[in-house]
Amino acid sequence: MKYLWFLLLLATNSFGQKNNHIGEVGTLNIYGNGKVVVGKIIIAHGVNKQLFLKQLTQTKDTSGIYTTTIVLDTPEDPKVVGYNLKLEFDKPVISVNAYNGIFSGGAFIDGLDTTKTKWSEQATELTISKILGGYTIIIKSNSAIKTTIFGIAGKLKN
């Protein structure tokens, strides 16, 4: 009987330890044309639970410039408190511009780093324009890029 209690305690303790680490960070691939991975989301649970990826597209124009469009949105309330978004690119980009959001309160940091492979924004609060379809980020590059998105809760279901 002592061994049964010991095994039960050991199993419970091991299970509890595993649960403390499961789901803290998750990865979700983003596919273009249903086959090619064009990006991924790194989900840190507890961060920006209300902000989701609505759409990610990548097109090439006649001059050879690629345009990657990321649309972020919220299922209900257009306000995102504690907004902190980071994008990483597998190759340098030309530019990153964001539209359809209003920032308020606290510090706001926006920028493409010197290597042109990382971009970030932070604000105490971001209000997303529901009328204009979400918070839109447009990335220009000389080649197709894969984008990793940090600071959102996942992908909106259609």
3-state SS string for 89-103: ECCCCCEEEEECEEE
- Better pLDDT: 39 or 118: 118
Class of domain 24-150: mainly beta
**Residue carrying the six token digits 């996942």:** 154
- Better pLDDT: 19 or 154: 154
Residue 10 has a pLDDT of: 38
In three-state secondary structure terms, 91 is coil
How confident is residue 117, by pLDDT bands cut at 50, 70 and 90?
very high
- Better pLDDT: 56 or 108: 56
The model's pLDDT over 9-53, given as tens digits with 9 standing for 90+, comes to 334 343 333 333 334 457 777 677 666 677 777 776 655 567 899
Task: Read off the tokens for 2.
Answer: 């002592």
DSSP 4-72: HHHHHHHHHHHHHHHHHHTTSEEEEEEEETTTEEEEEEEEETTSSTT-EEEEEEEEE-TTS-EEEEEEE
CB hemisphere CA count around 105 (13 angstroms): 9
Residue 65 has a pLDDT of: 98
CB hemisphere CA count around 47 (13 angstroms): 18
Residues 67-90: what's their mean pLDDT? 91
Query: Which pTM does this prediction carry?
Result: 0.76
Residue 46 has a pLDDT of: 58
**N-terminal to C-terminal alpha carbon distance within the chain:** 54
Among 8-12, 82-86, 100-104, the minimum mean pLDDT is found in: 8-12
Residue 66 has a pLDDT of: 97
**Separation of alpha carbons 48 and 83, rounded Å:** 7
Percent of residues, the chain, with pLDDT higher than 90 = 41
